[in-house]
């Protein structure tokens, strides 16, 4: 699957409508570039849930219903050291006033890369898909913990590669169906990993499926909604979120100006 082992996700809400411009300027011109010198951070990208994207969500429940932005950092070995340095860098930047305070991470943390796939038409390999220009992503987040389950009694943690568990089988089938939709260049699947349970982030027991889009996100979304919702227009009960985000162009940050 190439060199990437972990995806670090941050689903972010801006808590003051007047702060979107300042947040985008800070993140794209200051915060994001500072991550790339770290050993193991191989790529990072951020997308926006514009007002139109928000209206187009197929599933939109808590804790992710209020998010405006999605950031994904791709990390290679040494993963443990990279995560330690990643967290320490955030603390350092905050201590010198280089952190945006009008934001709240609704879901954040490291997720192990479980599977990659590329649509045959795009020609690039599956590990290369995130580096290919995209117009946006369609993201499906699933809560894999049964109601009332604790961290040690979750029934469908992914199994070994030769004996996939229920979560693996579901994610594989979902990714295959999403990959067949027009405008989807590739699909990467991530799952939470008990290896990271003792770190500062608490992502729960979830999977995150990311569809990289080379079609316009709002044009591609209806076909992907059909995959997620099924013929009865009801998603699997584990789905917490499903919807599109658009790629961010530097200095074009005016999506929420009417709300400011």
Strands 206-213 and 184-191 turn out to be antiparallel
Task: Tally the domains of the chain.
Answer: 1
C-alpha triplet 96, 66, 4: angle, nearest 5°: 65
Residue 228 host element (H or E): helix 217-229
- Cα distances (angstroms) measured from residue 55 to each of 7, 59, 221, 230, 254: 27, 10, 11, 19, 17
Higher-pLDDT residue of 170 and 78 is: 78
Q: What percent of the chain has pLDDT over 70?
A: 90
For position 231, which CATH number holds? 3.30.70.100
Give the pLDDT confidence score for residue 198 in this predicted structure: 73
pTM of the model: 0.90
Higher-pLDDT residue of 53 and 259 is: 53
- The 3-state secondary structure of 96-121 reads CCCCCCCEEEEEEEEEEEEEEEECHH
Nearest to 187 by CA among 218, 208, 170: 208
What are the tokens at 243?
């919807």
> Is the pLDDT assigned to residue 136 strictly greater than 80?
yes
Give the pLDDT confidence score for residue 129 in this predicted structure: 98
- What average pLDDT score do residues 225-232 get? 91
Nearest to 175 by CA among 218, 131, 142: 142
Q: Which domain holds residue 209?
A: 4-259
* 235 confidence band (pLDDT: 50, 70, 90): confident
Rounded to whole angstroms, how far apart are CA atoms 66 and 68? 7
> Is the pLDDT assigned to residue 111 strictly greater than 60?
yes
**158-216 pLDDT tens trace:** 443 333 455 567 788 999 999 999 999 999 999 999 888 777 888 889 999 999 999 99
- What average pLDDT score do residues 39-53 get? 97
Rounded to whole angstroms, how far apart are CA atoms 126 and 40? 19
């Amino acid at each position: 699957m190439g060199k990437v082992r972990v995806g670090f996700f941050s689903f972010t809400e801006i808590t003051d409508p007047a702060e979107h411009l300042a947040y985008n300027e800070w993140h794209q011109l200051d915060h994001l570039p500072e991550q790339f010198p770290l050993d193991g951070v191989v790529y990072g990208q951020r997308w926006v849930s514009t007002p139109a994207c928000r209206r187009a969500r197929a599933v939109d429940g808590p804790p992710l219903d209020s998010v405006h932005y999605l950031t994904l950092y791709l990390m290679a070995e040494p993963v443990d050291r990279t995560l330690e340095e990643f967290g320490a860098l955030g603390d350092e930047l905050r201590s010198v006033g280089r952190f945006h305070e009008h934001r709240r991470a609704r879901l954040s943390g490291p997720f192990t890369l479980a599977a990659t796939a590329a649509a045959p038409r795009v020609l690039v390999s599956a590990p290369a898909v995130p580096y290919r220009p995209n117009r946006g992503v369609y993201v499906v987040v699933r809560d894999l913990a049964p109601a009332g389950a604790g961290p040690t009694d979750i029934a469908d943690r992914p199994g070994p590669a030769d004996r996939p568990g229920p979560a693996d089988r579901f994610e594989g089938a979902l990714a295959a169906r999403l990959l067949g939709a027009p405008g989807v260049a590739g699909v990467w699947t991530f799952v939470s990993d008990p290896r990271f349970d003792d770190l500062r982030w608490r992502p729960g027991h979830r999977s995150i499926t990311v569809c990289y889009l080379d079609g316009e996100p709002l044009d591609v979304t209806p076909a992907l909604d059909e995959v997620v919702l099924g013929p009865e227009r009801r998603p699997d009960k584990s789905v917490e979120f499903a919807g599109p985000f658009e790629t961010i162009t530097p200095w074009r940050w005016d999506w929420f100006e009417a709300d400011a």
